[in-house]
Amino acid sequence: MINQNRFKEKVTIDDVARLAGVSKSTVSFVLNNRPSISASTRDRVREVIRKLNYQPNQIARSLSSRQTRSIGLVVKQIDNPYFTKIMRGVFEYFSGCGYTVLLGSSELQPDREKSSIEALLRQRVDGLILSPLQGPDADMSHLSLILQNQVPLVLLEKVANVAANVVDIRNEGAAFEAVSYLIGLGHRRIAYYSGPDYSMHNRERLTGYRRAMMEHGLPFPASGVRQAGVYLEDGYAAAKTQFSMAGERPTAVFCFNDLVAIGVMNALMELGIRIPEDVSVIGFDDIEFCGSVRVPLSSIRVPAYEMGKAAADLLMQQIGKTDFVLRQTVELEATLMPRASCARADGRPAGGSQKKKHTGPAGPRTAGGMT
């Protein structure tokens, strides 16, 4: 005897078929809206489905159809506001088209990135969105793993020598813009508080910084770049060290991201160094809190939510299409948002539109352009 267990078993397609007096194929056809079913049987089957509150088993579906209707999203840090926005963009897109999002995160550790990817591939996701860790010595073996698995892939960071779909921003250009802005304010000694080595974003921002210094004929001594990190504490520690030392200090600091920048500001405040009169600070990402922080923080606006949507869209274009695999790069603009944390090198306020408004009335939280 089947289905006579102690527990009420889940309703299956067979139950529906039996009660509707049709074959399970017919039920399957109804479920998938195939045309070759008469209106009368269709309605009858639907009625039974409703009555039994039947929910198709997606696992069984996945196994036989070879499509799981799920995708994997692997970020670097789950609780970083930048990735959080991306996650929301990706989630909203896919939940809108009946797909499930499986969460992965490397938490900045390469081995965890690998195991996250492997776990998602075992779950046979239909596609993967990945923000890859990559050092100069990068072991990109798991990337080829994905590619050889025929799983559609979209990266959230360019990877050298890998032909894949990418959604990214113009890091170098944005960094160039930020540093040029500082130079335009009269700053000469500008430090870059760098992110992790294994971040391509960091390397691109560093390049933009270097290029801006070079093109304006400014020196960038080794001390110009300080290894910070990605956390608030990292920026705090780096600034505390540099600005406690004797000697020539920078008059402006360009940071890998906003968290580092905020940490820097905290450290400077503690040391009695005024922002922006003594030191100007610029962050990156333009997270929600930039306008609310001690001194409103100048930052590079990164359309993270839109990046998530764009990556999802690009991925979706590939899912199901077996033969043609795109190799597309979508680059979104990232532009400077000047705020009160920057001033002229002599301490006078920066010109331009210094708006007093910190937070406008609740407008769209996700506006932003896309190229």
Partner DNA sequence: ATTATTTGCTAAACCGATATAGCAAGATAT
Partner DNA sequence: ATATCTTGCTATATCGGTTTAGCAAATAAT
Footprint of a copy of itself on residues 108-127 (CB under 8 A)? 112, 115-116, 118-124
Determine the interface stretch with a copy of itself among 22-30, 73-81, 170-178, 244-252 (rule: CB under 8 A): 73-81
Q: Closest CB to a copy of itself among 39 and 367?
A: 367
Three-class DSSP category at 165: strand
Torsion of CA 92, 94, 100, 103, to 10 degrees: -60
Q: How far apart are CA 312 and CA 100, in angstroms?
A: 12
The set of long-range contacts for 95-98, using a CB threshold of 8 Å and a minimum separation of 24, is 97/316, 98/69
Q: Closest CB to a copy of itself among 60 and 370?
A: 60
Q: How far apart are CA 204 and CA 68, in angstroms?
A: 36
Site for DNA in 28-67 (CB under 7 A): 28-29, 31-32, 36-38, 40-42, 56-57, 59-61, 63-66
Check residue 21 for interaction with DNA (CB under 7 A).
yes
Q: Which of 157, 78, 90, 151 is nearest to 121 (CA)?
A: 151
Q: Which of 26, 68, 242, 280 binds DNA (CB under 7 A)?
A: 26
| Phi, psi (deg, nearest 5) at residue 103 | -90, 135
Q: To the nearest whole angstrom, how small is the minimum distance from the Cβ of residue 232 to a copy of itself?
A: 6
Q: Closest CB to DNA among 108 and 121?
A: 121
Amino acid letter for position 336: L
Q: To the nearest whole angstrom, how small is the minimum distance from the Cβ of residue 60 to DNA?
A: 3
139 is in the binding site of which of a copy of itself, DNA, none (Cβ under 5 to 8 A by kind)? none
Check residue 22 for interaction with DNA (CB under 7 A).
yes
Q: Which of 132, 291, 303, 338 binds a copy of itself (CB under 8 A)?
A: 291
The Cα-based distances of 93 to 71, 76, 99, 124 in angstroms read: 11, 20, 9, 20
Amino acid letter for position 33: N
Which spans of this chain sit near DNA (rule: CB under 7 A)?
Answer: 2, 9-14, 21-29, 31-32, 36-38, 40-42, 56-57, 59-61, 63-66
